[in-house]
Structure 1
Amino acid sequence: MIERILPEEVVSSETFGDDPRARLLPQEERFVARAVHSRRREFTVARHCARRALARLGYDEVPVPQGESRQPVWPAGVVGSITHCTGYCAAAVTSSADVLTVGIDAESDAPLPTGVLDQVSTEEERRLLEQLPDGDNWDRLLFSAKESVYKAWFPLTGRWLGFTDAFVRFERGGRFRAELTVPPVELPAGTLTGFTGHFVTSAGLMATSVVVRPGDLRGRNRPNGKEPTRP
């Protein structure tokens, strides 16, 4: 499922349900040493997915520890993202030479619990959701899109991004656009003003992805980040 919304340079691995082959490496054990069984198993299968994806990049049995903000810590030269929900987990990785950041999220294809939409969206976003075709759980999809946005944002900035700090608008063809409502971020490759993402629904699940390449940023390869002047 997840590969349907990732570009070819991003490799992925996914698991539906549990995987009895999944094991933690010693460097990962401490992060769930005191966790309940369900959390430990979730973490274990997710790391197994991550290692399978990394193997496709040529990395053999490398640990994927957890950072201070619970983010996966990838080998040098790799960017990636992990997601898990009931009955599903996935990992997506690629070379940092090709992609600046990746964010993925998966959710059960069901409405959000009562009251959650108001907490994670703006009034304008909720108005736009009401205009979308019936039959899809757009509220949950909006939540998932914002989760993918955050997972792509954090490795670039090391900062928190609130649910209303990016305005999400769904587009045709399984795409969405998330415009930052906080000040743009200046990066070596250019200026980050927002994200373009993709979404898919399948077999009771939904997934979203955000991939940022260097050329996606404003001001790429322009002196001082300025637009070229007209003759």
Structure 2
Amino acid sequence: MDRNAFIHDAAPFDAQAHGQPLTGYACRFRLEAYDDALYPDHGLRLPPQLARAVAKRRGEFLAGRLCARRALARLGIASADIAIGPDREPLWPAGAIASISHAGDRAVCLASADPHVIGLGIDIESRIDARLAGEIRGVVVDAAEQAVIEAGFDDAVAGLAAAFSAKEALYKALYPQVRAFFGFEAMRLARVDEGRLRFLAAADLSPTVRAGQAFEVDIAFEDGGVRSIACCLRARG
């Protein structure tokens, strides 16, 4: 297959979280059209961290980086390679903060150049079935959180997928403040609102992320799955 067929249905989009305008770019990709030569074709370098990765990982990484380049370009920020940090986090160019996610054949990046945005996370997940939900439920939420899901969603499996996705997005958004890995148990689902989940930090994670502190994540069910956006803002004043 022609390598030019790798990326398709690519388009910009705009989003908001807590009233904050955000700039995005999304695409679909065909793994059967992936080739390592696509990296130099697009002016990118296959990172050494992916030297032993399977083709699927290399392909989805490339699709995410292409979305990132185009999202940043919409903000007037030129970017070549976006390096990988010590915790596998993207190292964004000065003046930008962004987040990448991919699921199935989809990739997406959300970005901002607003200095008040100090953390940004986007996560997309494909639909999960009852079997998979049973396998991950005890890892993603505890019994109290599961009760919140069952009370707040007509479909508890979809609700679990939303909680999973929202926690992933929140991890990405809080990483710049925490600078360390934390698990699903660190953020506990407290409330389900229309299009939004509220979490409480279960422990002190950093001087600015304290136990009991509340965080909200916007969610939307789309493309048969779920999309979550978390945005952390610098205190104004």
Given the two structures, how large is their TM-score scaled by the length of structure 1?
0.82
Deviations 1:1-53 (A, max 9, x none): 97445455321111133497964544443232222111110000000000000
Cα deviation digits, residues 43-99 of structure 1 (max 9, x gap)? 000000000001011122422111111111100121111101102111111125130
Distance in 1 (CA, whole Å) between partners of 2:105 and 2:80 is: 25
Question: Which moves more between the two structures, 150-159 or 110-119?
Answer: 110-119
Please state how far the C-alpha of 1:161 moved relative to its aligned partner.
1.5
Aligned residues: 215
Distance 2:14 2:165 in 1: 16
* Residue 23 (structure 2) aligns with: 11
The answer to whether the 8 A contact 1:5-1:199 is kept is no
* Aligned counterpart, 1:201: 221
Match of 1:148 among 166, 169, 181: 169
Q: Quick one: distance in 1 between partners of 2:88 and 2:205?
A: 25
Give distance in 2, aligned partners of 1:77 and 1:87: 30
Q: CA RMSD in A?
A: 2.6
Counterpart position of 1:174: 195
Deviates further, 127-136 or 76-85: 127-136
Farther-moved stretch of structure 1 (100-109 vs 61-70):
61-70
Provide the identity percentage: 27
- 2:106 aligned with 1:88: yes
Q: Is the counterpart of residue 117 in structure 1 residue 137 in structure 2?
A: yes
For 2:152 and 2:44, the matched residues in 1 are separated by 47
Deviations 1:164-198 (A, max 9, x none): 111123432201111101126434xx979232110
Shift, 1:100, TM fit: 0.8
Q: 1:37 to 1:184 in 2, by over 3 A?
A: closer
Distance 1:61 1:165, change over 3 A: closer
Unaligned runs of 5+ in 2: 1-11
TM-score normalized by structure 2?
A: 0.80
* 2:65 aligned partner, one-letter code: R
Match of 2:68 in 1: 50
**Cα displacement (A) at 1:139:** 0.9
